Amino acid sequence: MTWEIHCTSSGKADSRRRGLSRNAVREARDFYLCILPWLVGFSGLTLGPMLVSFYYSLCEYNVLQPPAWVGLANYVSIFTDDPLFWTALYNTAYYTLFSVPLGVAGSLALALLLNQGVRGVRMFRTIFYMPSIIPAVASSILWIWLFNPQYGLVNRALSVVGIKGPLWLADPVWSKPALILMGQWGVGGGMVIFLAGLQSVPRHLYDAAVVDGAGAWQQFRHVTLPMLSPTVFFSTVMGIIGSFQVFTQSYVMTQGGPLNSTLFYVLYLYREAFEFFHMGYASALAWILFVILVGFTALQLRLSRRWVYYEGDLRR
Amino acid sequence: MVRDGTKRQDTCRKRRRAEGIAMTALIYLVLVTGSGVVLTPFLWMLSTSLKSYDQVVTPRIVWLPRPVVWSNYARALEFIPFWRYLGNTALVTSTCVIGALSASALVAYGFAKLRAPGRDALFGVLLASMMLPGQVTMIPVFVLFQKLGWYNSLKALTIPAFLGGGAFNVFLLRQFYMTIPNELCDAAKIDGCSNFGILLRVVAPLSKPALTAVGVFIFVANWTDFFSPLIYLSDQERYTLALGLRLFQSLHSTEYSLLMAASIVFSLPILIIFFAAQRYFIEGVTLTGMKG
């Protein structure tokens, strides 16, 4: 009797264990079935092409003839014998240096204002967000017209206050500032993200700060800013990656001119690849861009330890 | 003495209230001015699109067109097969929404709810791939699509959508799925539901807001995409709206009223979608920001 019970119960446990592992196997199988589209896409359209792109960067390749191995020649000539590469890198760095900090500060400021319990938050949010969804080609065409030196609204408005506006897109000194200014029109895109971040800051932290006698500025400095630092960090990292890839504006508005002053990195890469069919050279340019961006991101991750606050830190 | 104290307290409170009102007024002033600055280009675009040539090139700032030249719109559309481009864009965009939404919903489910060896490592790879600049893969993908005969065909723009649905969308949906209690999935499993059944009957229905947000994202990204059509489409017949507008611009670079009319018409569909799906759209952006 005891033996029987023992037997059946052990049999049950056994089958349960076997069932569990069968379940686990089935779950693992289903997992791989689920992510199959991504696995195919990742290996076929990301990982594979990445390796091939690196191979191309060591070749001369014009699509019509098979790639011919040239070793590091593309990289050597980019760094030693290509003034346009340095121009494009300088223009892109200039653009990034101004547009990312301005964008982050501007969207944070707008979000802070909207978070003060004002009425009509939804309306303001919609208005500020609108420029972000206008197709880049359409907004580029609009800004060509706004920046028109003679009839454009920008210079007409400046002349009302007695300033003679520059030639903007036609002036090599003002063309980059013009594009940076235009980019700030879309500041509402980042604002929405900051607004979400602000709304997730727990109310009780402010209450505690008030009890401790903190004023508005101290609340901002010691509660809002630390709690928002992950959002600031995220926006900065993604902003730099995005602005290093700026393309459509300069392609549509200035074609890189005047005097190559808006020849941005990806526009230069695009020309090398799809206008001159220097696929090997363009691949080398792409890899240099990749290394620059990885470098920037790694650097920011390192620096972020000093200023980014994660909620998990509290518990540790 | 006591009365003096309350009086002092009173003036103090009054002053604080006055400060609060001044502060609020200042905030509204900045917000209203900011909105004005953001809206002005839109209004200028609209105003220019309805002006006669004379009014476009007057040295004064003219906001109200007189006469209102509605025919600018008819003329702008005359030069460009707008309806054909609209059709191409709608076809590409709807295919991409279906493909990328179903693919990312499925992939995200795997990453959020199913346990398997290697899952976390693969998810790390997926996250890392979000930061990869497209330029690194663009050229070999271009060569590959050309060999497959997809050059100058809408296939090059749509088929990739089915393969994974975009790392960013997967990430977003996975974050949302994680908030669905596992107990619900387990209960469905006990009732005999398969893993895929759980996705269809439990997880997806509970994720409608996130799925809608991601759908709108995919829609906007593909509708406004300029780069892929630029490198893959050579035949003007196959152009999407973004390329068509660029073509229009290269042909009529000085006729600003026509350019503005064309830009408005080309942006209108996306503006309509934005206002219709605004809630989901901003919620979606919100979702990305929180977990960033």
User: Does the beta-carbon distance from B246 to A252 stay under 8 Å?
Assistant: yes
Q: How far is A40 from chain B (nearest CA, A)?
A: 6
How confident is the model at residue B260, as a pLDDT? 93
User: Does the beta-carbon distance from B133 to A244 stay under 8 Å?
Assistant: yes
Among A72, A93, A108, the domain-final residue is A72
Nearest residue in A to B143, CA atom: A63
Closest Cα to residue B281, out of B198, B206, B197, B221? B221
- Within 8 A of A310 by CB-CB distance, chain B residues are none
How confident is the model at residue B109, as a pLDDT? 94
How confident is the model at residue A176, as a pLDDT? 95
Whether this model's pTM surpasses 0.95: no
Please report, for residues A23, A161, A234, A302, B131, the alpha-carbon distance to residue A299 in angstroms, rounded to integers and kept in the order given.
44, 44, 13, 5, 14
> Hey, is the C-beta of A44 within 8 angstroms of any chain B C-beta?
yes
Domain coordinates of chain B in residue numbers? Answer: 2-73, 79-291
Average pLDDT of every residue of chain A: 88
Residues A44 and A174 in one domain: no
Q: How far is B211 from chain A (nearest CA, A)?
A: 17
> Hey, is the C-beta of A311 within 8 angstroms of any chain B C-beta?
no
How confident is the model at residue B10, as a pLDDT? 73
The model's confidence at residue A311, banded by pLDDT at 50, 70 and 90, is low
What range defines the domain where residue A273 resides?
74-315
Q: How far is A27 from chain B (nearest CA, A)?
A: 6
User: Does the beta-carbon distance from B134 to A41 stay under 8 Å?
Assistant: no
- Within 8 A of B131 by CB-CB distance, chain A residues are 237, 241, 293, 297
How confident is the model at residue A6, as a pLDDT? 42
- Within 8 A of B226 by CB-CB distance, chain A residues are 135-137, 248
Residues A265 and A252 in one domain: yes
Nearest residue in B to A189, CA atom: B285
Most A CBs within 10 A among B16, B31, B40, B253, hence the mutation to make, goes to: B31
User: Does the beta-carbon distance from B110 to A289 stay under 8 Å?
Assistant: no
- Within 8 A of B140 by CB-CB distance, chain A residues are 48-50, 52-53, 56, 283
- Mind listing the pLDDT tens digit for each residue in A161-194? 888 889 999 999 999 999 999 999 989 888 888 8
Residues A67 and A121 in one domain: no
For A127, the closest of B38, B288, B292 (CB atoms) is B38
Q: Which fold has domain B79-291?
A: MetI-like fold (1.10.3720)
Contacts of A223 (CB under 8 A, 6+ apart): A201, A205, A206, A209, A214
Question: What does each of the 292 residues of chain B score in pLDDT, given as a tens digit?
Answer: 455 556 666 777 777 778 778 888 888 999 999 999 999 999 999 999 999 888 888 777 888 888 888 989 998 888 888 889 999 999 999 999 999 999 999 999 999 999 999 999 999 999 989 888 899 999 999 999 999 999 999 999 999 999 988 898 999 899 889 888 888 888 888 888 888 889 988 899 888 888 888 888 898 889 989 999 999 999 889 999 999 999 988 888 788 999 999 999 988 888 888 888 777 777 666 665 444 3
Q: How far is B34 from chain A (nearest CA, A)?
A: 8
The model's confidence at residue A13, banded by pLDDT at 50, 70 and 90, is very low
Q: How far is A4 from chain B (nearest CA, A)?
A: 29
Contacts of A139 (CB under 8 A, 6+ apart): A131, A182, A185, A186
> Hey, is the C-beta of A28 within 8 angstroms of any chain B C-beta?
yes
How confident is the model at residue B112, as a pLDDT? 92
**Three-state secondary structure readout of chain A:** CHHHHHHHHHHHHHHHHHHHHHHHHHHHHHHHHHCHHHHHHHHHHHHHHHHHHHHHHCEECCCCCCCEECCCHHHHHHHHHCHHHHHHHHHHHHHHHHHHHHHHHHHHHHHHHHCCCCCCHHHHHHHHHHHHHCCHHHHHHHHHHHCCCCCCHHHHHHHHCCCCCCCHHHCCCCHHHHHHHHHHCCCHHHHHHHHHHHHCCCHHHHHHHHHCCCCHHHHHHHHHHHHHHHHHHHHHHHHHHHHCCCCHHHHHHHCCCCCCCCCCHHHHHHHHHHHCCCHHHHHHHHHHHHHHHHHHHHHHHHHHHHHCCCCHHHHC
Most B CBs within 10 A among A134, A292, A293, hence the mutation to make, goes to: A134
Q: State phi, psi for A290 to the nearest 5 degrees.
A: -60, -45
Residues A178 and A238 in one domain: yes
User: Does the beta-carbon distance from B138 to A273 stay under 8 Å?
Assistant: yes
Q: What is the tally of structural domains in chain A?
A: 2
Residues A36 and A100 in one domain: no
- Within 8 A of B246 by CB-CB distance, chain A residues are 137, 252
User: Does the beta-carbon distance from A245 to B135 stay under 8 Å?
Assistant: yes
Rounded average pLDDT over A116-144: 89
Q: State phi, psi for A280 to the nearest 5 degrees.
A: -65, -50
How confident is the model at residue B142, as a pLDDT? 95
The model's confidence at residue A310, banded by pLDDT at 50, 70 and 90, is confident
> Hey, is the C-beta of A138 within 8 angstroms of any chain B C-beta?
yes
The model's confidence at residue A309, banded by pLDDT at 50, 70 and 90, is confident
Nearest residue in A to B216, CA atom: A133
How confident is the model at residue A24, as a pLDDT? 86
Residues A108 and A168 in one domain: yes
For B136, the closest of A53, A148, A248 (CB atoms) is A53
For A116, the closest of B27, B129, B259 (CB atoms) is B27
For A185, the closest of B38, B115, B199 (CB atoms) is B38
How confident is the model at residue A275, as a pLDDT? 94
The model's confidence at residue A315, banded by pLDDT at 50, 70 and 90, is very low
How confident is the model at residue A313, as a pLDDT? 53
User: Lowest mean pLDDT: which of A7-11, A239-243, B35-39, B235-239?
Assistant: A7-11
- Going by the DSSP 8-state scheme, the letter that residue B244 receives in this structure is H
- Within 8 A of A188 by CB-CB distance, chain B residues are 38
User: Does the beta-carbon distance from A192 to B282 stay under 8 Å?
Assistant: yes
For A:190-229, CB contacts with B below 8 A are 192-197, 200
- Within 8 A of B61 by CB-CB distance, chain A residues are 153, 156-157, 160
Whether A10 has a pLDDT exceeding 50, the answer reads: no
Out of A22-31, A97-106, B177-186, B247-256, the most confident range is A97-106
How confident is the model at residue B189, as a pLDDT? 86
> Hey, is the C-beta of A46 within 8 angstroms of any chain B C-beta?
yes
